[in-house]
Amino acid sequence: MTVSKTKTSFYRRLYVAWLIDSGQARTVPELEAATGMPRRTAQDTLAALVELDIDCVFAQQQGERNNAGHYLIRDWGPINPQWIAAHLEPIKALLGYP
For the segment 33-49, what is each residue's pLDDT rounded down to a tens digit? 999 999 999 999 999 99
Q: What is the pTM of this model?
A: 0.92
Sign of the four-CA dihedral 33, 79, 87, 74: positive
The whole-number pLDDT of residue 65 equals: 67
What's the start-to-end Cα distance of the chain, in Å?
Answer: 20
Provide the H-helix boundaries in 1-98: 5-22, 28-35, 39-48, 81-86, 88-95
The whole-number pLDDT of residue 64 equals: 60
Q: What is the CATH number of domain 5-95?
A: 1.10.10.10
Whether residue 76 contacts residue 17, with contact meaning beta carbons closer than 8 Å, is answered with: yes
